[in-house]
Structure 1
Amino acid sequence: MTEYLCKTCGTQYPDQNPDPELPPSHCPICEDERQYVPETGQQWITSSELKAQHKIKRTEHGPGLYSFEIVPRAAIGQRAFFIQTPYGNILWDCLAILDQSTIDWIKNKGGLAAIAISHPHYYTAMGDWSDAFDQAEIYLHHDDAKWVQKWHPAVHHWTGNNIKLNTDITLIKCGGHFEGGTVLHWQQGKGFLFTGDIMQIVADRKYVSFMRSYPNYIPLPATKVKEIGNSVADYDFDTVHGAFAGRTISNNGKQAVERSVTRYINALQAS
């Protein structure tokens, strides 16, 4: 069976047509107002074609922390993070391809205990990643369950406001960008927060921002932004890692989030 991915968002789809060589008819992820279908129309690419044209770049960010990116850039262009802990390794967010060299490298580091993903735009080829590591459990918030386009037995739709994956790793539901929008807190050193698109680190790397749709510039209401700020208020963190390469706040990350919430709400309320 040919496995197709949406070229715009990187979501992998199951065979949906009588002819397995035909791509799916449409991509609900891109048709939603938080994403977009390009002016040129819906386009598809197979997993094998994507792997032939791209590779995975690995970057070390410190002890036990690495990121993966697809190069040249493909789809949305996000990075995924590999977090080493004494209780098992975690993949945060996901990519549309997984190559053999990355599989070998991760296995040499002890494999994956779990995969956690911030929101549906980054579900991509999560099933392939799980299969490569003994069907590592995939943690997605239940509020976004309807956005899973390719069912996989390893998917665990967790509920509530937070869940601990191990002693050091906690997933926190923030909502906002998506109803089940999630961030990851790593209790290591002064603490790390991994935000995906739920809090987007801005160009000056001193603030974050919050949007319902980034490509379509749809803001969130002040009430939602306040909820996001409150959701992480009880966690200590110094470093904030965003979805894209270079978008990291290296110091005083908690204070940056707090002042960003205030700035955003003040901007909305200004007359």
Structure 2
Amino acid sequence: MIHHMCRQCGVQYAASAAPPASCPICEDGRQYVRWTGQDWTTMEELARERKVVIKDEDGVLSIGVEPSFAIGQRALLAETPDGNVLWDCISLVTDEAVAALSERGPIKAIGISHPHYYSVIVEWSRALGNIPIYIHEGDRQWVMRPDPAIVFWSGETRQILPDVTLIRCGGHFEGGSVCHWKRRDKPNVLLAGDILQVVMDRKHVSFMYSYPNLWPLNARAVKHIAAALEPFDYGQVYSAFWNMRILDDGKGAVARSVERYIKAIAD
């Protein structure tokens, strides 16, 4: 019995003797099946091809796979006096990476923005001591490897540590969430996945239903994201990929981005 992993989205599946017939996450309109057809690997095979890289990105620890794999996202570590939270995950766990992260203090929980970044969340949970994995219940159907560590939270916010709060924004997925990290001596941070995607000028964010298929969100969905974030103060925004971050006036940047996006899609 093998935990197969989709090469296109990097999500690991429940153990089976043969690979699944298809990957529902990739067959969904927000993603796509590889042009050469569905293909599977395992985390063990991936470890022979790639490595985990950990970098400090202007004070926020980032964790990625190199060479890039699947969607190419990197995880982020929210460090607080009450323990740390691993935000989103990558498709490879190594002893060296676990040791390096654990040196920064105990990791108390994993928070996930949406199904494209489920990766090997159960492997990460077990490697870090069977810590809880927080996923909004709106995305329950996309969990391909069920596990007791997964906590399906409901409602619009969930505080998982005194300084770490998950916020359901929807948009990209029904349960699409971001993470608000309150810091005591630095600007607060919004860990956004690609529910809000920092764009190349690193002064704005944008919003899409599907990024690879260039399928935009409608105005109602974007306004809902803005309303969900309004009660929270944050100065920085880190989205899903290496170096994609806004370091100053993050909340203002999001507000300006919402305004210009809605104006751009208006009749």
- TM-score for the superposition, normalised by structure 2: 0.97
Question: Cα distance, 1:62 vs. partner?
Answer: 4.6
Q: Percent identity?
A: 45
Structure-to-structure mapping, 1:15-164, within 5 angstroms: 15-16=15-16, 20=17, 22-63=18-59, 65-164=60-159
Contact 1:7–1:43 at 8 Å: present in 2 too?
A: yes
AA of the residue aligned to 2:202:
R
Question: Cα distance, 1:109 vs. partner?
Answer: 2.6
C-alpha distance in 1 between matches for 2:7 and 2:224: 33
RMSD: 1.0
Q: Are 2:2 and 1:2 equivalent residues in the alignment?
A: yes
Structure-to-structure mapping, 1:157-176, within 5 angstroms: 157-176=152-171
**Structure 1 segments of 4+ aligned residues over 6 angstroms from their partners:** none
In the alignment, which residue of structure 2 is the partner of 1:247? 244
Any idea what SS the aligned residue of 2:241 has? coil
Question: Cα distance, 1:82 vs. partner?
Answer: 1.3
**Unaligned stretches of 5+ in structure 1?**
none
Q: Are 2:214 and 1:209 equivalent residues in the alignment?
A: no
**Unaligned stretches of 5+ in structure 2?**
none
AA of the residue aligned to 1:232:
L
In the alignment, which residue of structure 1 is the partner of 2:193? 196
Question: Cα distance, 1:200 vs. partner?
Answer: 0.7
Any idea what SS the aligned residue of 1:75 has? coil
C-alpha distance in 1 between matches for 2:244 and 2:57: 12
Q: Are 2:254 and 1:257 equivalent residues in the alignment?
A: yes
C-alpha distance in 2 between matches for 1:107 and 1:217: 38
Residue deviations 1:4-55 (CA, integer Å, cap 9, x gap): 1000000001234xxx2x2111100000001000221101111111011010
Contact 1:183–1:196 at 8 Å: present in 2 too?
A: yes
C-alpha distance in 1 between matches for 2:61 and 2:37: 35
Contact 1:15–1:24 at 8 Å: present in 2 too?
A: no
- TM-score for the superposition, normalised by structure 1: 0.95
AA of the residue aligned to 2:92:
I
Contact 1:190–1:236 at 8 Å: present in 2 too?
A: no
Residue deviations 1:176-217 (CA, integer Å, cap 9, x gap): 000000000111132110100100111111110001000111
